[in-house]
Chains A and B, each alone.
Chain A
Amino acid sequence: MSVLVIAEHDNAQLKAVTLNACAAAKAINDDVHLLVIGTNCGPVVEAASKIAGIQKVLLAEASYYEHQLAEELAPLIASLADQYTHVLAAATSNGKNVLPRAAALHDCQLISEIIKIVDEQTFCRPIYAGNVIATVKSLDSVKFLSIRPTAFDALAADGGSAVVESIGALDALSLSVFDSQTLAKSDRPDLSAADIVVSGGRGLQSSENFELLYTLADKLQAAVGASRAAVDAGFVANDLQVGQTGKVVAPELYIAIGISGAIQHLAGMKESKVIVAINKDEDAPIFQVSDYGLVADLFDVLPELSEKLS
């Protein structure tokens, strides 16, 4: 039997995290099917069929699948689950929204945000804000798993030639209606996928001062992140939050500026390859996880760093 992966997309573009989810699926079984649920999502299907090593792309289209509403997607996923040993999705806000609903409809206990596959029924996942790694064995007939994208190397986006099979849509339930969306526009790399992330915290003091951080980020072609304190204070939008309840990142280089390093923030970045901390408080907990620490006033350091990088 094969493994089913739920594709993450916005009808126009297949999201890169799907490649990480497919890689996790391949680690379980070589026969991987990708499920695309959406509307007018031709480019997504094309990209999906080219992923290296995917056997089949299942496509379900209906106008009411446009906004990935959990109420509509979950019954379709649950109805297919019996044909598979495992059902996977990336643990993004979308995956976290839809997959538990599908698992419950199938009377299965989902295992969230796995970071390692031990064998086909045993998985490792972080609990308690990443302070403990649990090894869990699933006793369910179908294993529902959400995977932490940073823990699995992406499959190649091309080289494959999967067959595309259209499957019927289920009837609309219309329990909820999509109203509107406001997406932050940014030319910087995507936070979850960037090689370098520059993050600011309360120490930045204002949203204007975040400009200093943006200048540095642009010099490094880095994505910008933030601590909860910076988001709550209104310095930046919530989708930049890194941590237990925000995004989990694992870039090559993470630069934490004016961030003390609370447990909840560390949960989102401590798997980064190299961590740099810049903080004027030499006792800040962030220095316990940083590879390179600089005790200094960020308002002196940021301009100097940006200048010396040009």
Chain B
Amino acid sequence: MKILVPVKRVVDYNVKVRPSSDGSNVDLTNVKMSINPFCEIAVEEAVRIKEAGNADEIIVLSIGPSKAQEQLRSSMALGADRAVLIETEEALEPLAVAKCIKAIVDKEQVDLIILGKQSIDGDNNQTGQMLAALCGYAQATFASELAVGEGSVRVTREIDGGLETLELKLPAVVTTDLRLNEPRYAALPNIMKAKKKPLEIIALAELGVDTAARTQLLSVAAPEERKAGVKVASVDELLDKLKNEAKVIS
């Protein structure tokens, strides 16, 4: 089985992002960038499937700037076999990204695509579902457990109120939730080896995919600040404030 894992280069999850001074976009100058945490979980899951003898090859794919090669190299240090970068400096919308991924799915004839459930920058939670739609494949979003069978995968999903298990025909698309696994750290020898693994770069224009923007970002703003609160000294004072000042309990 061949597994494709699309990964995204995003602002590190610990960075608190702010709008730029003119409010046209967020200010990303000199901020630390990392692989999106959900994508890291996706890479880890693919590596575990391969380690269990259920996959022959793992391809990682990123669509983004030249610097996304760093995230592809890290993914290969974790165990992916080769990488593809679709290079573009524009930020693409999920639909366009899904179309680009589909082009690679068609070319590489993969059996399983594992993506993160959402990227922590756009918070869209769409790409996996859109890719499954465009390919006509089954989908299992928000996976917390994945088991590979003969021509199928069994996936347990995190849903509102509990868990649900589905059986998907392969090829299929799975998106990862936080509890699917705990990603490993790359060992130094593996980081060195990853430098020699193949990384193919394709210019977005070469792909021949319609990536025209369907939305226009008009402005960004900081959310309304909450008024500074007060510290209370005791439980009695807290209850008094909640009853008589905030009037949220009776």
Interface positions of A (Cβ within 8 A of B): 67, 69-71, 74, 92-94, 96-105, 107-113, 122, 126-140, 174-184, 192, 196, 220, 228, 231-232, 237-239, 244-245, 247, 252-253, 263-264, 270, 273-276, 282, 287, 289-296, 301, 304-305, 308-309
The secondary-structure label for the interface of chain B is mixed
Max chain A C-beta neighbours (<10 A), residue from B125, B162, B165: B125
**CB-CB under 8 A for A175 and B169, given A92-B160, A104-B95:** yes
Contact B242 A274 (CB under 8 A): yes
Contact of B164 among A180, A253, A296 (CB under 8 A): A180
Expressed in whole angstroms, the minimum distance between the Cβ of B27 and any Cβ of chain A is: 10
Contact A93 B142 (CB under 8 A): yes
Expressed in whole angstroms, the minimum distance between the Cβ of B153 and any Cβ of chain A is: 10
* Number of B residues, CB within 8 Å of A: 83
**CB-CB under 8 A for A128 and B123, given A179-B166, A295-B231:** yes
Interface positions of B (Cβ within 8 A of A): 11, 13-14, 16-19, 26, 93-95, 98, 117-118, 120-134, 136-142, 144, 154, 157-169, 172, 177-179, 213-223, 226-227, 229-236, 238-239, 241-242, 246, 248-249
Contact A184 B162 (CB under 8 A): yes
> Which residue of B is nearest A141, CB measured?
B214
Expressed in whole angstroms, the minimum distance between the Cβ of A76 and any Cβ of chain B is: 13
Contact of A105 among B18, B133, B161 (CB under 8 A): B133
List, in ascending order, chain A residues with CB within 8 A of B132's CB: 70-71, 101
Contact B223 A112 (CB under 8 A): no
Contact B95 A128 (CB under 8 A): no
Expressed in whole angstroms, the minimum distance between the Cβ of B18 and any Cβ of chain A is: 7
A104-B133, A135-B220 known; 7 other A-B pairs, CB under 8 Å? A94-B159, A99-B129, A108-B214, A131-B18, A132-B220, A182-B163, A292-B238
List, in ascending order, chain B residues with CB within 8 A of A103's CB: 95, 126, 130
**CB-CB under 8 A for A132 and B214, given A100-B129, A126-B123:** no
Contact A270 B226 (CB under 8 A): yes
List, in ascending order, chain A residues with CB within 8 A of B167's CB: 176-177, 179
List, in ascending order, chain B residues with CB within 8 A of A294's CB: 231-235, 238
**CB-CB under 8 A for A132 and B165, given A291-B246, A293-B231:** no
Contact of A196 among B157, B159, B177, B248 (CB under 8 A): B248
Closest 3 A-B residue pairs measured CB to CB? A109-B214, A100-B129, A104-B130
> Which residue of B is nearest A10, CB measured?
B161
CA distance A287 to B228 in the complex (A): 9
**CB-CB under 8 A for A127 and B138, given A139-B215, A220-B249, A291-B246:** no
> Which residue of A is nearest B182, CB measured?
A232
CA distance A87 to B72 in the complex (A): 36
**CB-CB under 8 A for A132 and B18, given A228-B178, A239-B158:** yes
CA distance A287 to B120 in the complex (A): 24
Max chain A C-beta neighbours (<10 A), residue from B129, B165, B246: B129
Expressed in whole angstroms, the minimum distance between the Cβ of A173 and any Cβ of chain B is: 8
List, in ascending order, chain A residues with CB within 8 A of B125's CB: 96, 100, 112
CA distance A308 to B98 in the complex (A): 55
CA distance A103 to B96 in the complex (A): 12
List, in ascending order, chain B residues with CB within 8 A of A264's CB: 13
List, in ascending order, chain B residues with CB within 8 A of A309's CB: 239, 249
Query: Can you list 5 pairs linking A and B with CB atoms under 8 Å apart?
Result: A70-B139, A71-B138, A176-B167, A253-B246, A305-B235
List, in ascending order, chain B residues with CB within 8 A of A237's CB: 162
> Which residue of A is nearest B229, CB measured?
A291
List, in ascending order, chain A residues with CB within 8 A of B246's CB: 253, 274, 291-292
List, in ascending order, chain A residues with CB within 8 A of B123's CB: 112-113, 126-129, 244
List, in ascending order, chain A residues with CB within 8 A of B217's CB: 134-136
CA distance A140 to B95 in the complex (A): 12
CA distance A94 to B164 in the complex (A): 12
Contact B242 A253 (CB under 8 A): yes
Contact of A133 among B16, B139, B223 (CB under 8 A): B223
Contact B238 A101 (CB under 8 A): no
CA distance A270 to B226 in the complex (A): 8
Contact A238 B158 (CB under 8 A): yes
**CB-CB under 8 A for A292 and B158, given A131-B17, A137-B218:** no
**CB-CB under 8 A for A128 and B249, given A96-B125, A139-B214, A289-B226:** no
Contact of B162 among A131, A181, A247 (CB under 8 A): A181
Contact B239 A232 (CB under 8 A): no
